[in-house]
Amino acid sequence: MNKKEKRQVGIVWIIGIAVFWELLSFLLEHAFHDSMASAKLPYLHTIVSTWFENWDMLLVAGAVTFSRAAIGFALGAAVGIILAVIMSLSKTAERIAFPYLIISQMIPVLGLAPIIFNIVRDMDLSRIMIAAYITFFPVSVNMLSGLKSVEQEKKDLLFSIAANKFKIYAKLMFPFSLSFLFTGLKIAAPMSVTASILVDMLGSKSGIGVKMLYSLYSNSTDIFWASVMTSALMGIISFYLVVLAERILLPWQTMKPREEGV
């Protein structure tokens, strides 16, 4: 499937979801005569209209959450990469650390976030730490998988020309592992945004999660759904920022193979 076909499929999905949403809202209000229809599932065009009417407030709130998520994402990615390198260098380190990495992900974020906040007593730091916690595992696992996928023959070739460990990692293993790394980053990016939004709801004074919570308490359903829309856009943007970085740093990944005889 080429880029044009992918774009067409994406447009069809967007139109289909929009039509389906509008149809469900119509049925809920006019076929089932639900008095709470506008609160349960408002029309999509109403949500979009509310978003444009309040875009400045929503963008400011979203920027607070997104910026903290981005910092946590960067820190978590750095920790994940370092852990992956250490585990690839030492089988003992891998046997010791890897089971605990898996166990760490069994702790629900909703349970961990209040504990972190109670310890640090700072909402911004809590957002960053939870986003980093969510990020480091998929990055570490995917990076380690990439480092371990390098063929031994290639490493032996570099050893034969007196390359040291640093040069082997710099010239062979890191470049080879970048596609694996970006797979982990693409998984972690939207998750870090979600984690930051969850921390907003613990009692923060700013952030898109706060807007969602306050709008629920005040029965401002239009603002609530516009905030949900903003949150979804933040997750999508975070994903495609990683995709953009991948295309810039790994241009050969998206290169179309030449046809034979051309």
What is the average pLDDT score of the chain? 89
Confidence of residue 88 (pLDDT cuts 50, 70, 90): very high
**Pair 169, 209 in one domain:** yes
Higher pLDDT, 252 or 105: 105
**88-117 mean pLDDT:** 88
* Percent share of the chain, pLDDT over 70: 96
HSE, CB side, 13 Å, CA atoms: give it for residue 84.
Answer: 28
pTM confidence score: 0.89
In a domain, 259, yes or no: no
Confidence of residue 261 (pLDDT cuts 50, 70, 90): very low
Confidence of residue 81 (pLDDT cuts 50, 70, 90): very high
In a domain, 257, yes or no: no
Confidence of residue 108 (pLDDT cuts 50, 70, 90): confident
Give the model confidence (pLDDT) of 117-130 as tens digits. Answer: 888 888 889 999 99
| b/e per residue 49-72 (b: at least 16 CB within 10 A) | ebbeebeeebeebbebbbebbbbb
pLDDT value at residue 158: 86
**Pair 74, 8 in one domain:** no
**181-191 mean pLDDT:** 95
Domain count, the chain: 2
Higher pLDDT, 234 or 109: 234
**Pair 20, 56 in one domain:** no
Confidence of residue 161 (pLDDT cuts 50, 70, 90): confident
| Lowest mean pLDDT segment, chosen from 136-140, 184-188, 252-256 | 252-256
258 has a pLDDT exceeding 80: no
**Pair 59, 3 in one domain:** no
In a domain, 261, yes or no: no
Domain that holds residue 6: 1-31
pLDDT value at residue 262: 41
**Pair 25, 77 in one domain:** no
**Pair 10, 77 in one domain:** no
The number of residues making up the chain comes to 262
**Pair 99, 222 in one domain:** yes
Q: How far apart are CA 56 and CA 240, in angstroms?
A: 22
C-alpha dihedral (105, 110, 114, 120), degrees to nearest 10:
50
In a domain, 165, yes or no: yes
**Pair 155, 124 in one domain:** yes
